[in-house]
């Protein structure tokens, strides 16, 4: 069994809970009961940055910068239209909504599999049918029984079949960076909720949007509260990235599955995006002189990752 997701989840939550103390690698390794070298290697492989650099991604100043950048990206994405399947960057998300008749039946006649498995953000409850994933929620904050109640309230008349082993396999696919298989999701919500959830797919990893920005871009400038309610009822966390929505002041706002989990997601995505940006090319003064002399250029410029 791959224990890395569980270790990463414990590391992320420890760092977030102790953020004010700025714990170092030695303290994190002691908490995880692993060597410092092992923790550094596994953490950087999964998150993209070191634990210390990860903590730097959690500041309010960084959040505000991502919010400012996200406004431009969101405008471009929404101006291009919100129809058909959405592309969530590295993961291909194929969305399918219930018909009005199916929605009225509240899941009657639907056989739905469900189970709890491990993820980099803690244990999660996953539910799915042959038409796609119907629910993904984290159990760390609400507990497993609470997550089961959330699922059953959403699909009150469905027939549930428990399968933790298959849930663990599917969750590995959901959170795998290398997955290139289409992930189908099957959504049950009002037309307004579906429109909000689809808009969330336009916010890329490493960027933020505020509740007000989403409301304005959906033509509902005065409906920030309604947009926030729809975001809070998102049934498929991570894949429909409601964690990328924060307040306009740079604070986290709310999150159905706990603010520590939301902050862990934000920090991981910001770290991975930062790790993909090329480092500026640094040359010694002698090397720079030789390079300038041979090329006729006086400066060396790095390229942007985007």
Q: Are residues 187 and 230 in the same domain?
A: yes
- How far apart are the C-alpha atoms of 84 and 77, rounded to whole Å? 13
For the segment 41-57, what is each residue's pLDDT rounded down to a tens digit? 999 999 999 999 999 89
Q: Which of 163, 86, 77, 171 is nearest to 133 (CA)?
A: 171
- The answer to whether residue 291 sits within a structural domain is no
- How far apart are the C-alpha atoms of 76 and 204, rounded to whole Å? 12
> What is the dihedral sign for C-alpha 257, 276, 42, 35?
negative
Q: CATH no. for residue 92?
A: 1.10.10.10
CB 123, CB 72: distance < 8 Å: no
Q: Which pLDDT does position 1 carry in this prediction?
A: 46
Q: Are residues 77 and 9 in the same domain?
A: no
Helices (H), ranges, the chain: 4-17, 25-32, 36-47, 51-56, 60-79, 100-104, 143-154, 164-174, 191-200, 211-217, 224-232, 259-276, 285-295
- The answer to whether residue 254 sits within a structural domain is no
- The answer to whether residue 44 sits within a structural domain is yes
- The answer to whether residue 167 sits within a structural domain is yes
Dmax (CA) of the chain? 76
Please count the structural domains in the chain.
2
Which of 18, 41, 56 terminates a domain? The answer is: 56
- The answer to whether residue 255 sits within a structural domain is no
- The answer to whether residue 171 sits within a structural domain is yes
Q: Which pLDDT does position 99 carry in this prediction?
A: 72
Residues 6+ apart with CB under 8 A from 122: 9, 13, 138, 139, 140, 261
Q: Are residues 31 and 105 in the same domain?
A: no
Q: Which pLDDT does position 303 carry in this prediction?
A: 34
Q: Are residues 24 and 142 in the same domain?
A: no
Q: Which pLDDT does position 292 carry in this prediction?
A: 35
Q: Which of 190, 200, 122 is nearest to 154 (CA)?
A: 190
Q: Are residues 104 and 190 in the same domain?
A: yes
Q: Are residues 39 and 76 in the same domain?
A: no
Q: Which of 255, 113, 134 is nearest to 189 (CA)?
A: 134
CB 242, CB 234: distance < 8 Å: yes
Q: Are residues 36 and 183 in the same domain?
A: no
Q: Which pLDDT does position 65 carry in this prediction?
A: 84
Q: Are residues 131 and 160 in the same domain?
A: yes
- The answer to whether residue 107 sits within a structural domain is yes
Q: Are residues 46 and 113 in the same domain?
A: no
- How far apart are the C-alpha atoms of 236 and 78, rounded to whole Å? 21
Domain with 35, as residue range(s), is: 4-56
Q: How far from the centroid of its chain's Cα atoms is residue 212's Cα? A: 20
How many other C-beta atoms are found inside a 10 Å radius of the C-beta of residue 108?
12
Query: Looking at the DSSP assignment, which residues form a beta bridge with residue 192?
Result: none
The one catalytic residue in 242, 260, 265, 270 is 242
Which of 12, 32, 56 terminates a domain? The answer is: 56
Q: Are residues 146 and 24 in the same domain?
A: no
The parts of the chain modelled with pLDDT lower than 70 are: 1-3, 74-97, 177-181, 277-306
Q: Are residues 177 and 114 in the same domain?
A: yes
Q: Say whether 242 is catalytic.
A: yes
For the segment 173-198, what is each residue's pLDDT rounded down to a tens digit? 999 865 566 788 988 888 899 899 98
Q: Are residues 43 and 65 in the same domain?
A: no
- The answer to whether residue 146 sits within a structural domain is yes
Tokens of 210: 């505020």
């Amino acid at each position: 069994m791959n224990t890395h997701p569980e270790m990463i989840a414990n590391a992320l939550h420890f760092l977030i809970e102790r953020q004010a103390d700025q714990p170092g690698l030695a303290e994190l390794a002691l908490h995880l009961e692993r060597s410092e070298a092992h923790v550094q290697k596994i953490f950087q492989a999964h998150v993209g940055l070191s634990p210390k650099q990860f903590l730097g991604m959690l500041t309010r100043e960084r959040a505000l910068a991502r919010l400012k950048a996200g406004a431009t990206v969101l405008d471009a994405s929404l101006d291009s239209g919100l129809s058909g399947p959405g592309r969530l960057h590295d993961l291909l998300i194929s969305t399918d909504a219930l018909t009005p008749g199916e929605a009225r039946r509240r899941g009657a006649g639907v056989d739905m599999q469900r189970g709890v498995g491990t993820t980099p953000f803690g244990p999660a409850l996953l539910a799915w049918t042959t038409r796609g994933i119907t629910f993904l929620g984290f159990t760390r904050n609400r507990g497993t029984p609470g997550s089961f109640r959330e699922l059953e309230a959403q699909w009150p008349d469905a027939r549930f079949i428990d399968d933790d082993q298959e849930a663990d396999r599917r969750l590995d696919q959901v959170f795998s960076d290398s997955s290139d298989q289409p992930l189908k999701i099957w959504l049950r919500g009002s037309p307004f909720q579906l429109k909000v959830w689809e808009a969330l797919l336009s916010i890329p990893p490493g960027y933020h949007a505020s509740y007000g920005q989403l409301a304005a871009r959906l033509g509902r400038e005065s409906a920030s509260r309604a947009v926030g309610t729809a975001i809070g009822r998102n049934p498929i966390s991570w894949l429909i990235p409601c964690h990328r929505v924060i307040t306009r002041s740079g604070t986290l706002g709310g999150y159905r599955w706990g603010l520590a989990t939301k902050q862990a997601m934000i920090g991981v995505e910001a770290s991975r995006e930062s790790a993909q940006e090329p480092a500026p090319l640094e040359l010694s003064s002698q090397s720079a002189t030789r390079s300038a002399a041979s090329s006729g250029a006086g400066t060396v410029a790095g390229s942007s990752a985007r």
